[in-house]
Structure 1
């Protein structure tokens, strides 16, 4: 009997030794499952690498680790991501963006008219479901999930190129307030892209995982997600590795695009003051918007930046456009003054989730930031002043959600080293409070 126990012990030891040596000297297996963040404004894809335990957010051919959530239809092709944005000014009626706002929703005629009024492309109702009207050589309609599928297919191809293997399985994130229908249609978009979805994870939970909060002793986590077009604030409670969404609030018409628009309006007025006219050519407007966006990003890191853009202006009625170089120095202080009323709108959802979650400010254990607009220094100061303590900024806010989703994908793929999974407790009675 003792000999049998000794033999079993030796076999177990040999298996552990073989596993250890395999990890040390054999090439790790390719990731089997990818993590997808299908955002309203930008999308990202990530993988968890077995062996090293590192999450890689996969870049495109130009080294960019996120792609715009835009799809543009031309007479000859369908463009996705950055390529779609590049032609958007010249092809506004056939360039679809913000499709995530429409996916899986059923609209009344009034709701759909109100939601679609801000877009240059045409949206029609098909029994209450939104469809986008495209006119190229022919006129046809596409669904929000088809737009999502083109973005997901692009990210799948990016992952396959980087990993050198075919990818068929994924974990995907959705906003916490998405109902079952919206989740179902998000999965349908992934299926159209040739992907099997193993799990759908809420974006705030994914962000909390990226910050490692599924492995530490915290109870109350507040997630502030401010991206290009929406603000989402979620209050999570965590016990024993399980996350429960306690309260949600936000503003689905507030984000980085609005801050850029204020700076764009300022730049346009400066052009008028200097040259007597405002830019009207589509190419000029596109270049000026790009210069404004670059300046906004620079102001996150620097106290001042320069908006610089060549323009072709119709300064006289009887002549061809005159080529000029527009330059304007802008300071961080000016940018903050232009947007202060918009920044202040962030506070109402913070107060609401605390009230609905029956929690005081000082009872929040961690405040984590998600979305590129949370890089703005004034916004970080505003949040810190509100809570009386600094938010956690240890993770790139642009990539927090995709990092967490990639971790969950690694767990679903059985990757080593093993991670502690975050389990979500559904809260079907929870509704998001929206401020507009």
Structure 2
């Protein structure tokens, strides 16, 4: 009997030794489960690297780590991501974005009309579900999950090109407030893209995992997620590796697009003051919008930036407005300071605090009870926003992770866990909160 036990022990020891030697000397296996962040404005795909334990966010052909959540239809093609965003100003009625706002939701007629009024493309109701009408090589309607599937297919192909093998499985993130129907329709979008979804994880939990909070002793985590189009604030309570979302609030009409729009409005007024006419041509508006977006990003690092944009302005009669001696395009030139940018948007920045105060009140917590403040979304790079949050809590938020990539990083870690990659990670377990409701501000 003792001999049998000794033999079993030797076999187990040999297996452990083989596993250790394999990890040390054999090439690590390639990831077969990808992590997907299907964001409202941008989306990303990541993989967990076996062996190193690092997450790689996969870049597109031009090295960009995220793609716009935009799909455009022309008479000859369906454009996805950056290619779609490039034609948004010239084909606004056939360029669909923000589809995540509509996926899986049932709208009352008035609510859908109000929600769709902000978009240049046509949104119609199909028994309460939103669909987008496209007029390109005929007229037809597409669903939000179809739009999502094109984005997911693009990211699936990016991962396959990087890994050199077919990808069939994924872990996805969704907003914490998504109900069962919205989650199911998000999964359906993945299925349309040829993916099996192994797990759906809440975005705040994914962000907390990216910051490593599933492996440390913290209890109350506040996640401020400010992207291009929406603000979401979540209060997580953590016990061990289990996360419970205690409270949620946000503003689904506040984000980086609004800050850019304020700057676009300012620069358009400056153009009119300098040249006597506002920019009305689609090409001019597109050029100004791109310059303004770049300026906003650069102002996170520099106290001032210079905008230089050639414009083909038109007068009311339709003739080109240029210098009397030369009908060439005019050059619009202006300097934008960080202080000016903050002044233009200060009232919008202040709106961030309302949902923060709400989740603290609903969670029965004081400011000092929050152990970690986690920033998610590219707009949280803005110095004024970081300063606002720091002043409110009296301590600095955690900025150790790229806020643009926090969610996809956490989802990729979870994908590595589901795929059995080593070194082994502690999986985050979410506790459903069936009574949770999100408070929305506007």
TM-score, normalised to structure 2, is 0.97
Deviation, structure 1 residue 240: 1.6
| Partner Cα separation in structure 2 for residue 319 and residue 282 of structure 1 | 15
Alignment match, 1:196:
196
Cα deviation digits, residues 305-352 of structure 1 (max 9, x gap): 011111001258474454111111010000000000000000100000
Matched, 1:361 2:346: no
| Partner Cα separation in structure 2 for residue 310 and residue 8 of structure 1 | 77
Alignment match, 1:307:
307
Alignment match, 2:279:
279
Alignment match, 1:245:
245
Range with greater deviation from structure 2 (183-192 or 319-328):
319-328
Alignment match, 1:376:
382
Alignment match, 1:133:
133
Alignment match, 1:48:
48
Q: Against the structure 1 CA distance between its residues 259 and 13, is the aligned structure 2 distance closer, same or farther, given a 3 Å change threshold?
A: same
Deviation, structure 1 residue 2: 4.1
Deviation, structure 1 residue 136: 1.2
Q: Does structure 2 retain, via aligned residues, the 8 Å contact 1:45–1:402?
A: yes
| Partner Cα separation in structure 2 for residue 243 and residue 27 of structure 1 | 34
Q: Does structure 1 retain, via aligned residues, the 8 Å contact 2:281–2:314?
A: no
Unaligned runs of 5+ in 2: 323-328
Deviant stretches of 4+, over 4 Å: none
Alignment match, 2:402:
396
Deviation, structure 1 residue 40: 0.2
Matched, 1:17 2:23: no
Alignment match, 2:61:
61
| Partner Cα separation in structure 1 for residue 382 and residue 227 of structure 2 | 11
| Partner Cα separation in structure 1 for residue 4 and residue 132 of structure 2 | 70
| Partner Cα separation in structure 2 for residue 137 and residue 233 of structure 1 | 42
Cα deviation digits, residues 100-142 of structure 1 (max 9, x gap): 0000000111000000000000000111110000001210000
Alignment match, 1:297:
297
Q: How does 1:114-263 map to 2 (within 5 A)?
A: 114-263=114-263
Alignment match, 2:107:
107
| Partner Cα separation in structure 2 for residue 318 and residue 42 of structure 1 | 37
Alignment match, 1:411:
417
> Could you say what secondary structure the match of 1:313 adopts?
coil
Alignment match, 1:78:
78
> Could you say what secondary structure the match of 2:254 adopts?
coil
> Could you say what secondary structure the match of 2:250 adopts?
strand
Cα deviation digits, residues 10-68 of structure 1 (max 9, x gap): 32222222112211221111112100000000000001011111100000000000000
Range with greater deviation from structure 2 (309-318 or 298-307):
309-318
Deviation, structure 1 residue 7: 3.0
| Partner Cα separation in structure 1 for residue 4 and residue 317 of structure 2 | 99
Q: Does structure 2 retain, via aligned residues, the 8 Å contact 1:231–1:252?
A: yes
Q: Does structure 2 retain, via aligned residues, the 8 Å contact 1:131–1:142?
A: yes
Unaligned runs of 5+ in 1: none
> Could you say what secondary structure the match of 1:34 adopts?
strand
When the two chains are superposed, the root-mean-square deviation of aligned CA atoms in Å is 1.0
| Partner Cα separation in structure 2 for residue 268 and residue 78 of structure 1 | 31
| Partner Cα separation in structure 2 for residue 183 and residue 244 of structure 1 | 18
TM-score, normalised to structure 1, is 0.98
| Partner Cα separation in structure 1 for residue 351 and residue 65 of structure 2 | 29
Alignment match, 1:327:
333
Q: Does structure 2 retain, via aligned residues, the 8 Å contact 1:245–1:427?
A: yes
